[in-house]
Structure 1
């Protein structure tokens, strides 16, 4: 029997790479999509997730070569701290097209097959900033908030077909996405957390894997591993 196939975007580093490793350790075959090569994935494809035609063509090729995609995990994205007065229209568009657009493109590519087979799981990596907001993070928080709306709408639409759609909204996570001078790394912030540390990429990956494998009753849920930042 062939192992199940999971598609992971943003798979070259951070949370995406951690999800690839976690699922691989559970026996999944992984296809990693990223601008950069995804070294930990069984199959790596370099592409821009905001390019719908390229994503759809890639998913068709992956399914021919590896088998049906039974889980899709969307972690591709970028982050920036910019005061709202300094955010240009190009910045708004890029943030939305990668985070929201990339997730939409993956869902458009994988969910028809999942619906036809009567099973499948989609997990979108959003952020707790989507709920609480953040200083000088308006375009990032807005894009992540749009992803939550997408997750909950698709969950309602696809649940009768046996396809589960959920999200993970981490708090500040210890990945290269947070630069060394990030305010989220300051001791003054870390001291406010019950755990005294940032969330790890591995903890986010465990949460995503739970939604894929064990949380079969979860429909439209947004789980938030955040080191106690939001309780």
Structure 2
């Protein structure tokens, strides 16, 4: 595995940063895309993943400087809790542009080369909420649900070319996206989980690396490390 190039979108913190560290520890050269600094990646590019031109330019630069991208992992995103009647239209569209559009833009930039080489892996980070739903999270849940539909469609389209597309749908995860007063951090909620704790970003990174390196039999799968939140 040494020397192969992995692109991680949303690599500045949380799950994305954990993925960078996990893959780097396995010998991958890592390239991080994010609006903020990416201290752990071998190469970092400041990018708004919702803007196709920025993503395409970043991928061209990464492949010129590091080599062909053989794995792309999409973890860029944001999260808010808002009742559906209070969600501004701009917030609806931003959720879709970043979560769904970000995955689309990365895939459109990296998969032509993967198809040409007849190998490659794409992993999109979606959410357990896309499977089970959540109160006052309709815009986030809808965007993450759309990512699942995209992953399954792309998986069917690209599998004959040797490119595998899968997703990871974590449950509530211990990152800065969940503020200290988040309902997902309340002891009353945690005690409802079989494991009584949040998922860690490192656990999500392990599942992501598994899909990239070992799970060559997985195509269009949605793996959900969620501490038992969705069974």
Unmatched runs of 5 consecutive residues or more in structure 1: none
TM-score by length of structure 2 reads 0.99
Aligned-residue offset at 1:171: 0.2
Q: How does 1:80-159 map to 2 (within 5 A)?
A: 80-159=80-159
Map of 2:35 onto structure 1: 35
Question: Paired residues, what number?
Answer: 231
Superposed CA RMSD in Å reads 0.9
| CA–CA distance in structure 1, aligned partners of residues 58 and 140 of structure 2 | 27
The residue matched to 2:110 in structure 1 has which SS?
A: helix
* SS class of match (2:180): coil
Tell me how far 1:2 sits from its aligned partner.
6.5
Q: Secondary structure at the match of 1:147?
A: helix
Q: What SS is found at the alignment partner of 2:171?
A: coil
- Contact kept, 8 Å, 2:52 with 2:105, in 1: the verdict is yes
CA deviation after TM superposition for structure 1 residue 228, in Å: 1.2
Q: Secondary structure at the match of 1:54?
A: helix
What is the alpha-carbon distance in structure 1 between the residues aligned to residue 229 and residue 78 of structure 2?
A: 21
Contact kept in structure 1, 2:171 and 2:199, CA below 8 Å: yes
CA–CA distance in 2 between the matches of 1:34 and 1:179? Answer: 21
The 8 Å contact of residues 34 and 49 in structure 2, kept in 1 or not, is answered as yes
TM-score (norm 1): 0.99
1:69 is matched with which residue?
A: 69
Q: Is the 8 A contact 2:2 2:27 kept in 1?
A: no
State how 1:198-217 maps to structure 2 within 5 Å: 198-217=198-217
SS in 1 for 2:170: coil
Q: Deviations over 1:113-169 (max 9, x none)?
A: 000000000000000100111000000000000000000000000000000000000
SS at match of 1:23: helix
Whether 2:60 is the aligned partner of 1:60: answer: yes
Contact 2:2 2:28 in 1 (8 A): no
Shift in Å, 1:65: 0.6
Aligned residue in 2 for 1:49: 49
Paired with 1:163 and 1:97, the residues of 2 have a C-alpha distance of: 24
Partner deviation per Cα, 1:23-45 (whole Å, 9 max, x = no partner):
00000000000010111100011
Cross-structure match for 1:178: 178
> Which residues of structure 2 form unaligned runs of 5+?
none
Q: Which residue in the other structure is 1:12 paired with?
A: 12
Between the aligned partners of 1:7 and 1:152, the Cα distance in structure 2 is 20
Which residue does the alignment assign to 1:223?
Answer: 223
Match of 1:167 in 2: 167
Where do 4+ consecutive residues of structure 1 move more than 3 Å?
Answer: none
The equivalent of 2:79 in structure 1 is: 79
How many Å separate the matches in 2 of 1:141 and 1:132? 9
